[in-house]
Amino acid sequence: MIGVKERIENLRLQIKYHNEKYYDMDQPEIEDFEYDVLVNELKTLEALHPEFKELDSPTQQVGGTVKRELRKVRHDVPVISLQDVFSKEDVYAFVDKVKYQIPNPKFVVEMKIDGLSVMLRYREGKLAEGITRGNGEVGESVYENLLEIESIPKIIPTDSPYVEVRGEVYMSNDTFEMVRQRQEERGGKTYKTPRNLAAGSLRQLDPKIVRERKLDIFVFNLEVSENKDFSSHAESLRWLSSLGLSVIPDYKICSTADEIWECISIIGEERWKLPFGIDGAVVKVDNLEDRRELGSTSKVPRWAIAFKYPPEQKETVVEDIKIQIGRTGRLAPLALLTPVKLAGTTVSRASLHNQDYIDSKDIRIGDTVVIQKAGDIIPEVIRSIPEKRPVDAIKYIIPSTCPICNSPTVRDENGADVRCGGELCLAQLIRGITYFVSKDAMDIEGFGPSSVESLMSEEYIKSIADIYHLREYRNELIEKGIVGREKSVDNLLNAIDKSKENDLSQLITGFGIKNVGKQTARALTSSFADIDEISNATLDQLIDLPDFGMTVASSVLNFFSLDSTKVLINKLKEAGVNTKSKLQEDNIDNRFAGKTFVITGTLPNLKRDEAARLIQMHGGKVSGSVSKKTSYVLAGEEAGGKLTKAEELSVKIIDEQEFNNMLL
């Protein structure tokens, strides 16, 4: 058994580690309630063993460290934290304690916004500085960034020479969803919760980023107001509101512990409907004189507490366990649950991570289990309830062959993960679809690799054509939350619809035909009117195209001769995807009708496909090789063989200048 001293030291180390992740890097590794458990254990042990007391303990400190790059600012009044409580008894005990000292106290109950604390300083009514909490004594100036937050007034109509307020900068759930998707697409750093993203954004060095990320603020305390006195917190909030500050909404004034508990419970039930995240409710003594009388410890005021809601838990039944396969070929077991409403959404599935997870929690098909949401977002199975286990419950073992391609699966050497050993597994399909929707091809906005992956492993998409049937599953997608909330699903479906109008060259690019990139696809669509013409093109016709050789031509021919391609094209047409070349639609006039051009060498200004397009738009044809039928060879630098051939056949050779003159 380890001694108390070791445990205390170990806890201090763990908490310091997580503080750094959370406050300094905005990338916590554990859930808040797990962190709170560690802190509580440490506080309890420290209280029981004062002999191990240390000033360096995280229980004696506030917040994190100050970023080196940001300007440091000393706080006028140290910014302290709040005493966290976790039970009804704690709330009643707090009220009793206050009542012992203050006759007939009034309390205010507010939502505890899950964001980042800032102090705003107004001099002569002008926003002059904005500071994070930092370590409580010294904060970081984020003034330039705060200027980008719309809901922070830059000027307030007051004759008070100095006003200082405290508020919480946060990000709405919708904005979080949007930014996270964008980050995922770019493959950049992603944040787990709106709080972390808000904190990470505000402590950015580039104010432009803050503007893009649409941060918001709720002001919840007046700290200083020179020449202006208030007797109560509620009164000061009303004044702040009249100055145009965005004040914490829906605060309630209560007199008894029962009333307070009622307010806390209502906020707890309603919190899932809010467009932003909260991580508790704050109970504060309303009268400011009473607050002064109660005073503060070095870390928290004695006149307030923060009630932390336990994560909501529900019981449900594991109806089945199925395998999802990811881009890397990993087999991820997924529990299909009897749908239950949990923390604001209906949950019908939860990841079981790997075999070890299933074994250690002894989760069987048919079991009743307890689920909860990590960070209020991702559902997880906490434990099974063996007492409720039916006799026919089935133990689950991850299959030894891949359910998609039947290849044998292999367990990672030093991990719990099982992967498909097959090379042609879903992994490749996913890459294909990801390319199809990417910027280079159909450019479907908001369709990141992770959405592709989940839609494929959930079997909503098996081939490109299925993308255009997703709308039929709109409600299901929203319900399951695979690509985010309602707004994200609609944005995605609208982007998919929009892509139906794309130019044929984008569609051809998206097919990912071997040796056919963007340029080659454009060459195809500037020479043929629609996808049927391309499908029916002969090898000779293809080889004739600018920049086509034998390899590219046969690759195209091969792709369009496949039955699967024919099926795909029909499906796309049925779904209303454009299969006509826009270049043909862009016809300006027919001055080049009956004329065939060959473009060769590097032109001084035009790219070859641009020149080809101009020829098309004026009714001409572009060919890849010079023959007697060629009307003009448009030649640039280093033209080479085709130029010689043109001279031999006495075909007229023109340069870009002459070509331009023909277009006048």
Q: Which residues bind ligand NAD (CB under 6 A)?
A: 18-19, 21-22, 28, 30-32, 35-36, 62-63, 81-82, 84, 110, 112-113, 117, 133, 168, 220, 248, 279, 282, 306
Closest CB to ligand NAD among residues 84, 177? 84
Residue 146 contact, options ligand NAD, Zn ion, none, Cβ 5-8 Å cut-off depending on partner type = none
Least Å distance, CB 267 to ligand NAD, is 11
405 is a site residue for Zn ion (CB under 5 A): yes
Residue 402 known to bind ligand: yes
Q: 402: burial class by Cβ within 10 Å (0-12, 13-18, 19+)?
A: buried
CB of 84 to ligand NAD, least distance (A): 5
Question: Is 112 a known active-site residue?
Answer: yes
276 interface partner picked from ligand NAD, Zn ion, none, CB below 5 to 8 A per type: none
What single-letter amino acid sits at 554?
Answer: S
Task: Check the CA dihedral 415-419-422-425 and report its sign.
Answer: negative
Q: Which residue stretch of 377-385, 390-398, 421-429, 478-486 sits at the interface with Zn ion (rule: CB under 5 A)?
A: 421-429
CA atoms within 13 A on the CB side of 627: 9
Which residue's CB is nearer to ligand NAD, number 62 or number 523?
62
Closest separation between CB of residue 402 and Zn ion, Å?
A: 3
Q: For residue 81, say whether it is annotated as part of any ligand binding site.
A: yes
458 is in an annotated binding site: no
Question: Judged by CB, which is closer to Zn ion: 313, or 400?
Answer: 400
Q: What is the DSSP letter of 159?
A: -
Shortest distance in whole angstroms from residue 167 CB to ligand NAD? 8
Rounded to an integer, what distance in angstroms lies between the CA atom of residue 233 and that of residue 627? 89
Chosen from Zn ion, ligand NAD, none, partner binding at 35 (C-beta under 5 to 8 Å by type)? ligand NAD
* Residue 420, marked binder: yes
* Residue of 67, 72, 106, 112 marked active site: 112
Q: Measured from the CB atom, is 311 or 601 closer to ligand NAD?
A: 311
Strand partners, 16: none
Q: Look at the block and give the residue holding tokens 């800032």.
A: 118
Q: Are 264 and 91 in contact (CB under 8 A)?
A: yes
435 is in an annotated binding site: no
Rg (CA), the chain: 33
Residue 263 labelled as part of a binding site? no
User: Mask: binding to Zn ion, 349-388, rule CB under 5 A, as x and -?
Assistant: ----------------------------------------
C-beta atoms surrounding 333 within 10 Å: 21
Mapped onto helix, strand or coil, the DSSP state of residue 517 is coil
DSSP state of 146: H
Of 286 and 367, which CB lies nearer to ligand NAD in the complex structure? 286
Whether 133 has a binding-site annotation, put simply, is yes
Contact 212, 202 (CB under 8 A): no
203 vs 601: CA distance, rounded Å: 52
State the DSSP string of 484-507.
Answer: -SHHHHHHHHHHHHHHTTS-HHHH
Residue of 591, 607, 592 whose CA lies nearest to 523: 607
Find out whether 294 and 101 touch, Cβ atoms under 8 Å: yes
Q: CA-CA distance, 147 to 124, in Å (whole number)?
A: 17
Single out the segment in contact with Zn ion by CB under 5 A; choices: 106-114, 277-285, 401-409, 502-510. Answer: 401-409
Pick out the residues of the known binding site for NAD(+): 32-36, 81-82, 110, 133, 168, 284, 308
Pick out the residues of the known binding site for Zn(2+): 402, 405, 420, 425
Pick out the residues of the known binding site: 32-36, 81-82, 110, 133, 168, 284, 308, 402, 405, 420, 425
